[in-house]
Amino acid sequence: MPSDKSNIALNNQDPSGNHLKIAQDILKKIFPHPANSTSSTYIPSCTANDCPFTKGEVATVIHHLSKRKAPGPDGIDNIIIQQIFKKFPFLLMELFNTCLKLAKFPDPLKVGNIIFFINTENLKQKHLLTGPYLCSRQ
CA 7 to CA 66: how far, in whole Å? 28
What pLDDT does residue 75 have?
75
What pLDDT does residue 122 have?
56
Does the reported pTM lie above 0.85? Answer: no
Burial of 23 per CB tally in 10 Å (0-12, 13-18, 19+): buried
Phi-psi bin for 73: left (phi > 0), alpha (psi -120 to 50), beta? Answer: alpha
What pLDDT does residue 93 have?
92
What pLDDT does residue 12 have?
46
C-alpha torsion 110→115→116→119, nearest 10: -120
> Over its length of 138 residues, how does the chain's per-residue pLDDT go in tens digits?
444 444 444 444 555 567 777 777 776 767 666 544 454 455 555 566 778 889 999 999 899 888 888 877 667 888 988 999 999 989 999 988 988 888 888 777 776 666 666 656 655 555 444 444 444 444
What pLDDT does residue 138 have?
43
Task: Report the amino acid identity of residue 36.
Answer: N
What pLDDT does residue 1 have?
43
Cβ distance 81 to 61 under 8 Å?
A: no
Helix H segments across the chain? 19-30, 55-63, 78-87, 89-102, 107-110
